A and B are shown apart, each in its own frame.
Chain A
C-alpha cells in the first residue's frame, strides 16, 4: 500500500467507509465560503441593518438620521397600511395556493393515465413555467385592459357578462386578476411536482385496489393521496413561501391599487423604501416579516423537509 499523507490507518469506521481513510479532515472547512456568503450577505448584515434603520428616521434630503426609538414600529401597527398589506398577501396566498393545488392534482392525475398525446399535453401544460412574471403582468393587463379586453369579449359572447367589466378598478376583481396571473403561471409547477410524486406509486398498488373493487374516489383517498402526501406538502410549502414574496405582476398590473387592494407586503416595503423614502418604516416592516418567516422555518419547514427526506 502506498502511504500518502492523507491516508492514515485509523480506527474502524462506522458508516461503511474503509477504515484506512482518515475521517476527520479539513473537509468541513469547505462549507465556510458559501456559509459566510449567505450568512453575511443575506442574513446577518440585512438583519442588523434593518434593526438599526428601523430605530431611525433617515432623511434623503440632508442624508442625516434621527433616532426615533420604536416610533416606526408604532407607526407600523397604528396605521392601516401594514396590516392591510399582510392581509392582502395572506389572501393572495390562500386563494392562489388552493386553486393551484386542486387544479394541479386534477391535471396531474389525468396526465398520469395512459392516453394518446399524453407527452404533448404535458409539455404544453408546463409551458407557462417558462415565462417571466413581470412580462406576464403586462400581458394580463392587456388581457384585462379597460374597454379593450378580449376576456370581456369572450365572456360577452358566451353570455356570461354584459358590457365592460371593471377588472382593474374594482378591488375584488383586481385581486382576482392578480391571483389569476399566479395561478396561470404556477399551476404548472404543481403539475410537475405532483407527477413526480405519482411516479413513485407502483402500478401494482392500483391493480390491488382494482381487485379490491375500490372506486376511483376510494383509490385516490386510500392509496394515491397517502403516497404523494409528502411531495404535495413540499410543493405547497415552496409555493407558499414564494407567494409571500409576490411582487412582479402587481408592479406591472395594478401598482398596488385600486385603493391599495392589491398591495402585498413585498410591494409595501418597496413603496415605503424606494418611493416614499421612509427607510425606517420599510425596515421595521421587513423585520416583522423576517420574524414570521423564521418562526415558520423552525416550526414547519424543518419538519416537512426532514420527513420528506427520510421517505424519499
Chain B
C-alpha cells in the first residue's frame, strides 16, 4: 500500500514511543491483577513492590470455589446475563421491526427518544423505587428480579441497534414473500429473523458485555450468594477483618476473561452497539 503522507523518521519514532508508553500504561493494571492473583499473600502489600511474583501459588483461585461458593456466583452471573439478554431481545426485536417497517405518529420523537432517554437516566435515581417494588413482590435476592432489571438496561440499546440491522434488509424481500400469499407474521419469522441473525447474535453478545459488570443494582437488590453476581461477590471480599486482595484479583481475572474475549472477537459490532446502531 502506498503511503499517503511521507512520514519523517522522527515522527515514526515518536509514534512508536507514544503508543508503547500507552500500551504499557493500559496493560499495567491488568498485569497487576494477574500478578496478585498468583503471588503470595505477603507479597501483595510489600514495599518496594516485587514486579514479578517470587513464588507462584494458586490458592486464591481454589479458595474462591472452596470457601466462597464461587461456582454458584459465577453460574448466577452467567444465567442472569444470558436471560436478561434473551428477554430484552424478545421484547425489543418486534419493536425494532415495527419502527423499521411502519409509519406511525410519534415514532421518532416520541417512542424512540423516550426509549433512548431511559438509557441515560442514572440507575441510582431509580434505586429506591425499584427496591421497594421488589420488596413488595418478593424479588429481592432473586435471580428473576435481576433479570427483569437488567433486561430494562438492555432494552433501549436492543431497540435502537436492531432497528438499524432491520433497516438494512430490503423491504422488497419480505414484500415479495408476502405477495406469494404469506402473512406479515410469516414474513417476519421466515425472512426478517433469519436475515438479521448475525445482528441478533452480535446484539446478544453486546447485551452480555453491558450487564456483565453491573454493580449498583445488584448490590442493592441481592443479599446472599444465592442470587449474587461476580461484581458483588468481589466487593464482599472487603470485609471487617481486612481486604482479601488475592481473592479479589483472582475473581477479577475469572470475570474479566469472558468480556475481554467479547471485546476481541466482536470489535466490529461493539461500535455499533455503543452508538445505538448509528455508526456501522
Spell out A's residues near B (CB within 8 Å).
1-7, 15-18, 20-21, 23, 25, 27-31, 33-35, 37-39, 41-43, 45-46, 49-50, 53, 103, 106-107, 110-111, 113-115, 121, 123-136, 138-140, 142-143, 145, 147-150, 152-153, 184, 187-189, 192-193, 195-197, 203, 206-207, 210, 216, 231, 234-235, 238, 241, 244-245, 247-248, 251-252, 265-267, 269-270, 273-274, 279, 282-283, 286-287, 289-290, 293-294, 297, 301-302, 305-306, 308-309, 312
Question: Which listed residue (B128, B171, B212) contacts A53, Cβ 8 A?
Answer: B128
Interface centre among A4, A31, A150, A294 (most CB of B within 10 A): A31
Which residues of chain B have C-beta atoms less than 8 A from A27's C-beta? 97-98, 101-102, 184
Closest to B4 in A: A206
Q: How far is the CA of A35 from the CA of B110 in the complex (A)?
A: 11
Inter-subunit contact A49/B26 (CB<8 Å): no
How many inter-chain contacts with C-beta < 8 Å in the A-B complex? 329
B36 at the interface (CB under 8 A from A): yes
Contact sample, A vs B, 14 pairs, CB 8 Å cutoff? A2-B181, A17-B171, A18-B175, A27-B184, A113-B15, A114-B3, A130-B256, A135-B231, A139-B33, A195-B271, A231-B279, A274-B131, A286-B124, A312-B278
User: Is the Cβ of B263 less than 8 Å from the Cβ of A30?
Assistant: no
Is B138 located at the chain interface by the 8 A CB criterion?
no
Q: Which residues of A contact B264 (CB under 8 A)?
A: 123, 130
Residues of B within 8 A of A286 (CB): 124-128
Contacts of A28 on B, CB cut-off 8 Å? 98, 102, 104
Partner of A269, one of B48, B103, B125, B181: B125
* Complex CA–CA separation, A287 to B175 (angstroms): 47
By CB atoms of chain B within 10 A, which of A135, A136, A188, A273 has the most? Answer: A135
Chain B positions within 8 Å of A139 at CB level? 29, 32-33, 249, 252
Inside 8 A of A134's CB, which chain B residues have their CB?
Answer: 213, 215, 231, 234-235
* Nearest chain A CB to B114 CB, angstrom units: 7
How far apart are the CA atoms of A308 and B276 in the complex, in Å? 11
Contact A251 B51 (CB under 8 A): no
Partner of B47, one of A15, A128, A147, A197: A147
Asked whether B239 is an interface residue with its Cβ less than 8 Å from the other chain, the reply is no
Whether A293 touches B95, Cβ cut-off 8 Å, given contacts A38-B152, A132-B252, A143-B29, is no
> Contact residue range for chain B?
35 or more
**Residue B10 interfacial (CB < 8 Å):** no
Q: Which 7 A-B pairs have the closest CB atoms?
A: A2-B181, A132-B213, A130-B260, A49-B129, A286-B125, A266-B124, A130-B263
Contact B122 A132 (CB under 8 A): no
Instruction: Report chain A residues within 8 Å CB of B216.
Output: 247-248, 266, 270
Query: CB distance B30 to A131 under 8 Å?
Result: yes
- How far, in Å, is A178 (CB) from chain B's closest CB? 14
B126 touches A150 (CB 8 A): no
In the bound complex, CA of A192 to CA of B252 (Å):
24
Asked if B44 and A110 sit within 8 Å, CB to CB, the answer is no
Q: Which residue of A lies closest to B20 (CB)?
A: A121
Query: Shortest beta-carbon distance, B180 to chain A, in Å?
Result: 7
Report yes or no: A50 in contact with B183, Cβ–Cβ below 8 A.
Answer: no
Question: Contact: A127 with B27, CB < 8 Å?
Answer: yes
Pair B127/A274 contact, Cβ less than 8 Å: yes
Contact of A145 with B133 in the complex, beta carbons under 8 Å: no
B7 — nearest CB in chain A belongs to which residue?
A: A113
Residues of B within 8 A of A203 (CB): 4
Q: A6–B263 contact, CB under 8 A?
A: no
Q: Is the CB of B234 within 8 A of A37?
A: no
Q: Which of A37, A207, A294 is packed against the most chain B CB atoms within 10 Å?
A: A37
Since A21-B178, A123-B264 are in contact, a sample of 6 more A-B pairs with Cβ atoms closer than 8 Å, ordered by chain A residue number, is: A6-B183, A107-B19, A130-B256, A266-B122, A290-B121, A293-B122
